[in-house]
Structure 1
Amino acid sequence: MTGPALDGLSAIDMHVHVEVSADGHPSLPDQLMAASARYFKVTGEARKPGVDEIAAYYRERRMAAVVFTVDAETATGHPPISSEEIADACAGHADALIPFGSVDPWRGRAAVRRARALVERYGVRGFKFHPSLQAFAVNDRMAYPLYEELEALGAIALFHSGQTGIGAGTPGGSGIRLRYANPLDLDDVAADFPGLRIVIAHPSFPWQDEALAVATHKPTVHIDLSGWSPKYFPPQLVRYANTLLSDRVLFGSDFPVLTPDRWLADFAALDIKPEVRPRILRDNAARLLGLDRPPDA
């Protein structure tokens, strides 16, 4: 499996959003995009780079990035950016970008077939789920055929957890329910699909302890650190990243709403052991993504 060469990479960002398609279609309805921008205090078109711009940005920094969108059409009524389009665009930037897909779990068997095609025909390495935005409980049995397929394909399942800026501050949060993003529900998924590699995205406010409990108990579960500046990380997250989970915690920014430049500057001041720092920034992700293996392995 091809991908960015590990030699020369300073870091691997596990959490980068594609917010606009090649023809200008946004990933979310305007009101949700605006709420997210206010929440993260982001202004201007800099928050909506296309795949080519993302590749140039990360290449300049000697980094690789995992990129994706979210398909939440059933819950939002908004057509998603095509994961096929993203994967095709990433193929032209294989030195810097690693494509993940997104399928709407409410589409049942159609989601299973599409996930298979995205892996086998488009080279997608994993899938992004946003339970709050997609309005589903991750341990709902309706999603189990999809997880079974991802496990069989060897794909990674990355789940948003905790608070979200999407819908924040709008009336009723635009109907988005935070309870779907409690990472404790992923314990069921990890137990029922022991071969499925899972990433819990973000410091999981207000359920950080739940995320740590699941990750320490289930060896296929990882945590990415995206969406928060490291200076705001809960102390128990830092403690576990330094010790019990030092091989399963991953750098992620949440670009474009939080830049890797800002994240890395704050991470440099965090009390992380010298031998753990490169694991978080690069080595754990390289192992998870298979970048530490020969191309024909």
Structure 2
Amino acid sequence: MAKGKRAAGAKGTKITLKMAKNALRATPEGKLRLDLSNVGIATFPKCLLKLRNVEELDLSRNKLKTIPEFIGQFTGLRWLDLHSNQIERLPENIGLLRSLVHLNLCNNNLDSAGLSPEIGSLRNLQVLNLGMNRLNALPPTLAGLTNLTELGLFDNLFTQVPECTRVLPNLTKLNTKRNPVVYRQRDGQDSDSMKTTGNLYLAREGDLCHPCLERCRKKKLDSLQKKSNFSGLISPNSVARGSQEIWRQWITTSPPGFHKEQARPAGDTNKTTFTHNDNTL
């Protein structure tokens, strides 16, 4: 019996069509949103094809390793959140999601070979988060993302700022923090300069590892002592905006020896803490 339970656990939570329908809700903007985050899914539920008219899909904080080719049938999808899974490769049909405006792939196992060149076909994409992966290069096709305004490349393996980012006409925020980036000087100026931001966002204490929680508490105490004005609390960052009631990004600046698995959520609590992070776009 115990062996059977372990096997079932390895397969992850089975999502039925009824469960998926119960997870549907309308956003304040009137969009149809399907939230299946943090439910232990290990394989992309095929039953979701019955709900491919959704405009927002949240499968973050699960155990997904692959995304099937039939993801391309969600042609009306505008917002897709896959952060904090174990995804190693994107399917070619990701390029069929032509309506996509927001794509979050942060905190996965993507390397440059697994980042499909077809991602460059998402011409309406405005926000792309590729932080906390194993990328050291971007496909040249990303130069086709002419509507992209925010790009997160933090906590990867880049040794130089990707050339394709230099030709994106509407890019205003580029985060390459904590990469082994080598900056070049040209005409006395930093040719690889970029606009990065550090914002305030909401996170549940139960979603943070102990080192991160202690760091957040210390920063909160220091900030209160300085009587800082936390104006950012009324305007969460672009990653948090889609789902304020739950966390969007759970990691603060990584301390030495930090591993992603240490920070994976052990459960939700009702207590909320304010934390500062530069893992924003």
Same fold per superposition (TM over 0.5): no
Higher helix share: 1
Larger radius of gyration: 2
TM-score by length of 2: 0.36
TM-score by length of 1: 0.35
